Chain A
Amino acid sequence: MTLLTVEQLTKTFGGTCAVDGIGFTIHEGRCVALLGPNGAGKTTTIRMLTGLLAPTSGRIAFRGFAPGADHRSVIGFLPQIPALYGWMTGQEFLIYAGRLCGLSAKEAQIRCSGLLERVGIASAAKRRIAGYSGGMKQRLGLAQALIHRPKLLILDEPVSALDPIGRREVMELLRELKQETTILFSTHVLHDAEELCDDVLIMRAGRIAVGGAVSEIRNEHRQPILTLEIEQDEQSRNWLRGWLQAPPAYVQSTSANGGGARLVVTDVHAARRSLMGELLESDVRFTKLEIGHTTLEDLFMKVVTAS
């Protein structure tokens, strides 16, 4: 079921267009990654979804709300760097957040202790937030975003500022949360998205370059790829250099790397047969010939570096 529909969403700051007419839908229960290099417009998009930033034009429609209506009651948001009141204790902040979302004092208390336990900072509940480490603040931020059981959890770069251990732990938490609610999170690390998400939206320069289910995108953009590695002797290297200068028709694109080449090909059967023949004929001392497929990372790199 569709939870959120975004149409023609645009935001311009002065003369620059940060988000340029993007549109997508988020289905209930999915985990969606908003992927893209720094400056692609991810944070701007997220800020518009949370209502912190008014779109220049376009439409954001939540299920059960009129387009453009105040839908803050169904979203939970964790900004890139969670800003918390340092003079409050973790527990006080969580209860405060819960009460603001309309929970009764008792409910807030129950939710608070449950969540503190869950994000693993129960032992620090009665300490002032000013003394928390970055990872603890991030977890408290996650807890306050979850306090009112939001339908959509929006996280802006939830793991970018964390060390590897903290990153691991937050990812584990997200994996659990994914079972309970719909999640949209932005990241510039493809690996995080691949590990956790059902859907990805790859942004570049304010537009969505590629979007859809991870598995579909993987299939759709999957291309056969040949990886060839050779020994570093004179003859083999010369052959490769010459061959790469005028590659046969089945080779779509080539990229030289270290001691060999990576070839994106159109017809994998023809490529295999013909390349094998050529290698034998010219007596090339190859060390590796691998036939595989492009990964999501190849697609990501292609999309974000395309000019």
Chain B
Amino acid sequence: MTQWMVLYRKEWLELIRSSKLIWMPVVFILLGAMQPIMTYMMPDIIANAGNMPEGTIIEIPTPHASEVLAQTLQQFGTLGLLIIALISMGTVSGERMSGTSAMILVKPVAYTSFVTAKWAAIVTITAISFVLGYGAGWYYTAALFDTVAWQDAAGSLLLFGLWLSFIGTLTILFSSLLRSAAAAAFTALGTAALLSIATSLLPKALAWSPGKLAGLASAQLTSGTASGMWPVIGITFVCIIAALAISVWSLRKYPSIEAV
């Protein structure tokens, strides 16, 4: 456990020294705050666009506060995912490429600790950024539209947070299986997109797929309940553990680049 903490603290220090701990939360806060503000300003923006023919009447119904927050989640579902993939794409492959993994893994370090400490660091920074970003979104929605019940907001936060962590885990998995960091990010994002599309195309067959998490989070906001969420949550946890196990296996087999 002490060793795990040492590894985790090193990952944490790296996040601080590389400024990721600053810019990632900032980007998430911008993402979260922008959606309610843009929605609120939309009639003015369109009215001032100036290229409307004379006499055009635009009527945009004021959206419900929970809808605004659900749209905010969609922002995190696109740009947020991209940022998470960018942050975690080199976690394992970068260390392997530079040779530092070889330096560390000849010491009596458990392969599982090495991978899980990295994973925990990614999950922590994702959680911090997402909570801050979603909090900003919730605050501006409350200020400009209406307050969303905090229970619903918290429920959707947890569901969507799990989806984001799942993507982070996938990126770590591909980062340990592939040599190139860019390929890892691309594959993880591709898998996420495929999962989401497949889940919406085959809702029956993939009722328990992690791809449903984003939809469940929205449902929690708009309708107050996310029916059928427990099996999805269970499967997602199983997938995360399996992905970590495969990463550990891959690292044990190929601790350094020469061995690949």
B109-A79 in contact (CB<8A): no
Complex Cα gap A77–B17 (Å): 27
Contacts A52-B255, A72-B107; A81 near B99 (Cβ below 8 A): yes
Structural contact, B104 and A100, CB atoms closer than 8 A: yes
Within 8 A of B (CB), among A67-96: 70, 72-73, 75, 77, 79, 81-85, 87-88, 92, 96
- Judging by beta carbons under 8 Å apart, are B3 and A102 in contact? yes
On chain B, the residues within 8 Å of A84 by CB distance are 100, 103
Residues of B within 8 A of A100 (CB): 3, 6-7, 104, 107-109
Question: Once the chains bind, are A47 and B103 in contact (CB under 8 Å)?
Answer: no
B259 within 8 A of A: yes
The complex places the Cα of A70 from the Cα of B13 at a distance, in Å, of 29
Chain A's interface size range is: 20 to 34
| A197 CB-CB contact with B under 8 Å | no
A87-B18, A100-B109, A102-B108 known; A54 and B253 CB under 8 Å?
A: yes
Q: How far is the CA of A172 from the CA of B99 in the complex (A)?
A: 27
Within 8 Å CB of A85, what residues of B?
10, 14, 100
Q: Is the CB of B106 within 8 A of A96?
A: no
Find the B residue at minimum CB distance from A75.
B106
Q: Are B108 and A101 in contact (CB under 8 A)?
A: yes
A99 touches B (CB below 8 Å): yes
- Interface bits B100-125 vs A (CB < 8 Å: 1, else 0): 10111111110000000000000000
How far does the Cβ of B149 sit from chain A's closest Cβ, in whole Å? Answer: 44
Q: List A107-165 residues whose CB lies under 8 Å from chain B.
A: 141, 144, 148
Q: Which residues of A contact B (CB under 8 A)?
A: 43, 47, 50-54, 70, 72-73, 75, 77, 79, 81-85, 87-88, 92, 96-97, 99-102, 141, 144, 148
Beyond contacts A77-B106, A87-B14, A102-B108: 12 other A-B pairs, Cβ-Cβ < 8 A, are A52-B259, A70-B108, A75-B106, A79-B103, A83-B98, A85-B10, A85-B14, A96-B10, A97-B107, A100-B107, A141-B103, A148-B107
A/B interface sample: 13 pairs, CB < 8 A: A47-B258, A51-B105, A52-B255, A53-B256, A54-B253, A70-B108, A72-B106, A72-B109, A82-B103, A85-B10, A87-B14, A88-B13, A100-B109
